[in-house]
Every structure is written in C-alpha cells, then in structure tokens.
Amino acid sequence: MKMPKNYDEFKFWLLSQLPMWDYICPKCNQTIDRQIRLCPYCHEIIAVAVRVPPKVLKNKKALSEYIHKNIMPFLKPCELAYIARYFTIIFQDGFESGNFNAWDGFTGGPNHATDWSVQGTIIHDGSYAAMCTRNAANRWGGYYSLLGGGYFTELYFRIYFRFDTWINVNTSMTFQYITSKPPVLDIIGAGIRNIGGVRYLWVRRYYPADQSFQYAFNWQLNRWYCVELHFKKNATQGEYHVWIDGILYHSETGLNTSGAPDAGRASFVQSVSVFASYPAHSYLDCCILADTYIGPEVKFAGGASIVPAAKALLGGM
C-alpha cells in the first residue's frame, strides 16, 4: 500500500478501496454479482445487470461495516497502525499500564473496589486484562470513564468480556453501561439474565421509557465475547443497538430519545446478586469508546491484532 501523506490523500486512498458501483437485478432489484446471468433470487435471465451507486456510501454504519469486512483484514498491521492517525477514539484502555489509572473513578459498594485487579494470565490482547474476583454474594461495582469531559448525543462502547462461573437461577449479571455524568442517569446497559435456568442476553434501555429485552444466546464459560453498545439521542431518529462478536442482537430505531441526557460516562460494572459458586471471576479487556461503530478487533496470522478505526472512516469528508 502506498501510504497517504496527509488527510486529503487518505480520503482519496480510502475512496479508491471502495466499490465504484453496485449491480442489481432489473426485475427484483436485489444486489447481485455483475457477471451473473441468472438471478439467484427471482431466477430472471439477465442480459445486463443494472448499475447503481454503492450502498456503502449511503450511511456511516454501512461504510464502517464494509471496511471492517473487506479492507482491514487485508492490510498489514503496520499499515493499519499508520492510517489509525486519521481516526478519532474518545477513550480506550486495554489495562497495559497494569492498573486502572486511565479510568476516572470507581462506582460500587463500600470497599468493593478491592475485588478488581489487573493480571497477565487470562488476556484477550496485549499483556494484561482486568479481573474481578467475587468471594461472596451481593458485591458489585466497576470503573468508569467520563469521556474526557465531553458530552455526546451518540456513543458506541465496546468491551471484551468473559466469566468462569454461572449466575444463579432467576438472577442477572450486568457488565456494561452508558450513562450521564453525575448525577448519574442510566441510558443503556447489557448483561446476562438467567430465567428459570435459561440464560439470555439482557438489554435494558431507559428512554423514552424504561424497558428490558431478553434474547436467546448460547453463553459459554471461559470464552471472550466482544460486546458493543450504541446510543443515539434524537427526537425522531433515536437509536439503541447491541452487538456481540459483530452480530447485531438488539436494534431499535426511530425512537424519541430526546428526553435522555447526553452520554457523559461509560462504565464496566460487574453486578450480580448470587453466583452458583465462589470464588467467581470475570475478565475485561480492550475497551473503546467512539462516535461510530467499532466492531471486533482485526486478527492476523500469528496472533497479531490491531484496533480497527473507531471513527467513521469518511468522517469529515
């Protein structure tokens, strides 16, 4: 790859990596390969596919997803590291400092911060990850970022999370929240809920009204999960999304979320009333806050990885 020398060159380089056109069936309008002569959707015989502007340029999310899937996996780590200078990340921490100093504070029960530590044995990436050790019931808490003092009407929050002990029947465990700055008002959170012995992905959002959602999910012990939350504040186009490992599980659009506060704080909070046994451990790594979809890390042969762009790759164009 010829490295761009400045942001203007970077924009043109990025455009050169995108498809110039999409091609659709003239009968059913489904996107097809331009060389296809029989539509796989409606079975129309196609003399010439219809050329239309590419869908990836219609919105930031479509563009970001295309780049994650079709461009980043084919770049070298050094190339990704170079072009990352053109991206904006609100906050990130993988605990490589060996402590929690990058975070603005702890929220939780009295002396419950002692349950948290940074260790180098069970990690997702790098040399360290955070660990929470619970030795008794009814302990909760975690660390939070104040997003550099900023206020955001749209925010994405991604973590890597794993745990080694099941929660009891008819209990819940949260691990991630987007909230306002103090006085804290919750906006959206995610976790695990056990209902009658069946474990679900649990999502709770608070605007325009407090509502919980459960989704069937095959949770497994001792496995890393990439969990990403999204909140957008708008009077008519408010949104909430939750992805796990890049797969969208919760999606709400067209909401009136104007009554919500601006996002001003994000936290990882391990909160559960009762585990099935003790000690119980959960782990956290590779946390990022951004104003566009982040997605799972890009992995390379040999185990190397790099954080993908956290800002819309055409932001500012």
43 in the same domain as 101: no
* Structural domain range at position 25: 7-86
Q: Number of folded domains in the chain?
A: 2
- What does DSSP say about strands 91-93 and 186-195: parallel, antiparallel, or unpaired? unpaired
- Walking along the chain (317 residues) 10 residues at a time, the average pLDDT comes out as 61 77 92 90 91 78 70 67 62 94 93 93 95 90 93 94 94 93 95 94 97 96 96 96 94 96 94 86 94 74 43 35
CA 149, 316, 86, 176 torsion: positive or negative? Answer: positive
b/e 27-37 (16+ beta carbons within 10 angstroms → b): eeeeebeeeee
Q: Which of 64, 123, 113 is nearest to 313 (CA)?
A: 64
| pLDDT at residue 312, as a whole number | 37
315 falls within a domain? no
| pLDDT at residue 278, as a whole number | 93
Q: What is the CATH number of the domain that holds 151?
A: 2.60.120.200
78 in the same domain as 99: no
42 falls within a domain? yes
306 falls within a domain? no
98 in the same domain as 81: no
Residues in the chain: 317
295 falls within a domain? no
